[in-house]
Amino acid sequence: MSLAGKTYTGLKLEVDGHTAIVTLNNPPAHTWTRDSLSALRDLVRDLDAQRDVYALVIVGDGEKFFSAGADLKQFADGDKALAREAARRFGEAFETLSAFRGVSIAAINGYAMGGGLECALACDLRIAEEHAQMALPEASVGLLPCAGGTQNLARLVGEGWAKRMVLLGERVDAATAQRIGLVEEVVPKGEGRAKAIAWAKQVEKQSPTSVAASKRLIQSTRSQTHVASLVAEREAFVDLFDSQDQREGVAAFLEKRAPVWKNA
């Protein structure tokens, strides 16, 4: 399928080689709406169908906000049905993002609050610009993180720091985020997007078939036992021998040339 001419509410898409760059674009703070969450879900599904897209970069438009999360106005009247629908759409969007077959990289270029940080947590890797601020402040307004925040944050930074951020509402800066493992890299202001694209270019050197299989295995440690995951790892290794990319990768190495991946 082609992405030409398709539009996604609250998102801007560009494709640079094998990298899709998604810019969050709902000014002023790039808050999530039900429509933009559905759009992110659909966009990631569309990218999964594009076999020549190997990496996905997500960044906020401008230099102040990555995303400030959900628009709280939608919860002002205490409508439980609306809350259930919003929670479902958050879950669908970010779980689809987490399951993206390629490598997803969040370039946190400013404030990442609530559902904004949860979007970054659903990505494989996170880069923060030095002025970025990150928090899950939902409990301060009588809510809680419902888009993977309590689960994904604890897996990344451990239970103690997850409780500091969720239960105490503690905000962290970029340096602290890197120290506790919330982000993998800190860069100067304005350089997050370029760094994320540079990482995406590194992904292009890897077999996309191997990357997809390896990502599934790494993420399986969240739910499977160690023994089961070891068995799955060996089986996935053998399954790669059914792929064109495995034959191309070995042949290219032996012939001392760069491989040409087919994602097949």
Identify the pLDDT of residue 2.
Answer: 59
Q: Which domain holds residue 236?
A: 208-255
In the residue annotation, 118 being an active-site residue is answered as yes
> What average pLDDT does the chain have?
94
Residue 264 included in any domain: no
Distance CA 117, CA 115 (A): 5
In this structure, the answer to whether residues 228 and 132 fall within a common structural domain is: no
Q: Active-site residue among 63, 92, 118, 130?
A: 118
What is the Rg, in whole angstroms, of the alpha carbon atoms belonging to the chain? Answer: 19
60, 191: one domain: yes
Given 14, 138, 184, 185, the catalytic residue: 138
Does 117 share its domain with 94? yes
Active site residue 138: yes
Per-residue pLDDT of the chain (264 residues; tens, 9 = 90+): 457 678 999 999 999 999 999 999 999 999 999 999 999 999 999 999 999 999 999 999 999 999 999 877 777 677 888 889 889 999 999 999 999 999 999 999 999 999 999 999 999 999 999 999 999 999 999 999 999 999 999 999 999 999 999 999 999 999 999 999 999 999 999 999 999 999 999 999 999 999 999 999 999 999 999 999 999 999 999 999 999 999 999 999 999 999 999 999
Residues 6+ apart with CB under 8 A from 17: 201, 204
* Number of domains within the chain: 2
Residues 155 and 41 in one domain: yes
Query: Same structural domain for residues 183 and 155?
Result: yes
What is the reported pTM?
0.94
- Are 83 and 188 members of one domain? yes
Query: At which of 204, 220, 240 does a domain end?
Result: 204
Paired with 58 in beta bridges are 22, 106
**pLDDT tens-digit map of 96-119:** 999 999 999 999 999 999 999 999
Do 47 and 81 reside in the same domain of the chain?
Answer: yes
Same domain, 149 and 245: no
